[in-house]
């Protein structure tokens, strides 16, 4: 059987002007991941990343750490099918309908870096309404379109995979949630309940034979736990 490793990107710059940049902690997480995979002597046949900067940079730092440890690494391939859903678009589309019951929502979301728990609470409500289809048809990528995009990317990987191959996919939490939904048939709500637990640079393992895929492990974070550096365990 082959192995597909779903790796969430390192910590991005939440609250900064450009979120899509790894923070210094995100760089350290990515390097720690690569060093750990090298210690496991994991030999990757392919490495695929979405085209978001945080996904590409996480892959680059991790593979550089593997290479520095003497492990041969493949080139990074890009497939936008593994991009995250449009979180900003979800907020723009769902916020107006939330204001009647959450009059402070706009201010909380604007200053999310200083009020993370309230930001997460409101964001989770909007994501739930998004995947339930409770929003206007305003050009926002729907949950159904998002999962179809992700499924197309997964099928491309499986169709080109060799038996027993190891493939790393550097992606995002929402994309991993969509893959869990597709592979295990859990509901979108259950998939996002798991999504909120995925730490930066954790990896989940799928086993595959042909197009048959099964979940083997979820949200592995040994690479940061073994360092005994709690600051490297982040969720956003």
pLDDT tens-digit map of 125-172: 999 999 998 887 778 999 999 999 999 999 999 999 988 899 999 999
pLDDT value of residue 136: 73
Strand partners, 168: 5, 47
Which one is predicted more confidently, 7 or 161? Answer: 7
Mean pLDDT of 54-75: 97
**CB distance 58 to 9 below 8 Å:** yes
* Contact criterion met (CB below 8 Å) for 14 and 21: no
What span, in angstroms and rounded, lies between the C-alpha atoms of 18 and 41? 35
3-state class (DSSP) for residue 73 = coil
Note the pLDDT of residue 198.
97
Write down the pTM of the prediction: 0.94
By CB neighbour count within 10 A (0-12 exposed, 13-18 middle, 19+ buried), where does 126 fall? Answer: buried
Hey, what domains does the chain have and what are their CATH numbers?
Answer: 2-84+163-232 (3.40.50.1240), 87-131 (no CATH)
Residue 134: the pLDDT is: 84
Lowest mean pLDDT among 8-12, 117-121, 187-191: 117-121
DSSP three-state, residue 77: strand
Q: Is the pLDDT of residue 113 over 80?
A: no
Which among 80, 84, 85 has a CA at the least distance from the CA of 135? 85
Are residues 150 and 81 in contact, defined by beta-carbon separation less than 8 angstroms?
yes
């Amino acid at each position: 059987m082959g192995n597909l490793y779903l790796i969430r990107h390192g910590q991005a710059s939440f609250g900064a002007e450009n979120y899509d940049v790894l923070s210094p902690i995100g760089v350290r997480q990515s390097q720690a991941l690569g060093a750990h995979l090298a210690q496991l002597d994991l030999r990757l046949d392919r490495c695929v990343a979405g085209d978001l900067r945080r996904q590409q940079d996480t892959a680059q730092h991790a593979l550089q750490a593997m290479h520095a440890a003497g492990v041969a690494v493949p080139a990074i391939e890009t497939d936008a099918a593994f991009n995250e859903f449009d979180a900003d678009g979800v907020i723009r589309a769902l916020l107006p309908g939330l204001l009647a019951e959450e009059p402070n929502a706009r201010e909380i979301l604007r200053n999310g870096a200083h009020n993370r728990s309230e930001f997460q609470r409101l964001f989770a409500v909007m994501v739930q309404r998004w995947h339930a289809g409770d929003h206007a048809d305003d050009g926002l990528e729907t949950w159904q379109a998002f999962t179809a995009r992700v499924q197309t990317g997964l099928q491309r990987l499986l169709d080109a995979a060799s038996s027993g191959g190891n493939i790393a996919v550097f992606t995002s939490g929402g994309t991993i949630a969509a893959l869990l939904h597709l592979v295990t048939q859990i509901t979108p709500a259950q998939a996002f309940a798991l999504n909120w637990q995925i730490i930066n640079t954790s990896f989940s393992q799928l086993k595959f034979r042909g197009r048959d895929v099964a979940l083997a492990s979820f949200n592995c974070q040994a690479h940061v736990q073994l360092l005994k550096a709690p600051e490297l365990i982040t969720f956003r």
